[in-house]
Amino acid sequence: MSVKIKRIYGDLLPDPKDGYRVLVDRLWPRGVSKVKAELDEWDKQIGPSNDLRKWFGHDPEKYPEFKQRYIAELDANPATPNFLQLIKEKTAAGPVVLLFGAKDETHNQAVVLQDYLAQHGIQ
């Protein structure tokens, strides 16, 4: 899969294998330098809405419903088609890393977004 996910706090220095690095959080991660993050893109609009993010609160028990709600937001989001096109173009040229700030590496929006991209033929 050429679309990977990675926690921005884990290893801030980009790996040469990362390829195109895009932060998919609506809020900038606390304590992370914008310079040291070396992002290619910060797509705030593709992250979950503030209401959904606050409701979820990274509670693993709420994850299945969070996933459904977030997919519904992505489907309704006018920024989604441009994001899909961008990632499709970038994966044609090399790997893409979706960066996120959540502590839980299994139950977060980047995991949902990676699956969403795959459902749209972008892997």
pLDDT single digits (tens) 83-118: 999 999 999 999 999 999 999 999 999 999 999 999
- pTM of the predicted model, to two decimals? 0.92
Q: Which residue has the higher pLDDT, 55 or 9?
A: 55
| Interatomic CA distance for residues 93 and 79, integer angstroms | 22
pLDDT tens, residue by residue, 41-91? 999 999 999 999 999 999 999 999 999 999 999 999 999 999 999 999 999
